[in-house]
């Protein structure tokens, strides 16, 4: 059954040609329908549901935070994060792109840097991490549900 090293059994490569677009479409659908959401992000007087696996894949900050606090459905309070920036960041994380107005761009990128969102922020060096530690004190994790 299992292949042995050096066996002459022929191997086949099976490929899902539209894998990336199918996965992105599935993530968008899961978010739109709020299926299997397992984390709530609260900021600016409102809340957003999301998936820990998506947040963790897109942000070392969220990965570290959620790994250190393994509750079933955490509520993450993000102080000084505007609703429109969080909504746009979630669109970016789930879709791989987002459209931002020029006036919103500086705050959006600052929030992306603080939350270490891949593709928008460079992963910080140790020196930058020390500087960001002050910013991160604005965020808080609460146990939920």
The domain total for the chain is 1
Q: Which tens digit of pLDDT belongs to each residue from 48-80?
A: 999 999 999 999 999 999 999 889 999 999 999
Q: Is residue 12 part of a domain?
A: no
Count each helix (H run) and each strand (E run) in the chain, helices first. Answer: 6, 4
What is the domain extent for residue 126? 19-142
The overall pTM is greater than 0.85: no
Backbone dihedral angles phi then psi of residue 2, each to the nearest 5 degrees: -70, 145
Q: What mean pLDDT is predicted for residues 134-142?
A: 52
CATH number of the domain residue 83 falls in: 3.30.710.10
**Sheet strands side by side (includes 39-43):** 46-50, 39-43, 75-78, 139-142
pLDDT beyond 70 at 126: no
pLDDT beyond 60 at 135: no
pLDDT beyond 50 at 145: no
Stronger pLDDT, 90 or 1, i.e. the higher one:
90
């Amino acid at each position: 059954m299992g292949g042995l090293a050096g066996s002459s059994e022929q191997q086949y490569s099976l490929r899902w040609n539209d894998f990336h677009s199918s996965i992105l479409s599935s993530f968008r659908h899961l978010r739109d329908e709020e299926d299997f959401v397992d984390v709530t992000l609260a900021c600016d007087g409102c809340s957003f549901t999301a998936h820990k696996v998506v947040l963790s894949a897109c942000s070392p900050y969220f990965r570290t935070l959620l790994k250190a606090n393994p509750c079933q459905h955490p509520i993450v309070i993000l102080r000084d994060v505007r609703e429109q920036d969080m909504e746009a960041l979630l669109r970016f994380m789930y879709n791989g792109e987002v459209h931002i107005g020029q006036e919103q761009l500086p705050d959006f990128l600052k929030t992306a840097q603080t939350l270490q969102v891949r593709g928008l922020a460079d992963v910080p060096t140790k020196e930058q991490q020390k500087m960001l530690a002050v910013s991160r004190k604005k965020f808080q994790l609460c146990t939920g549900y």
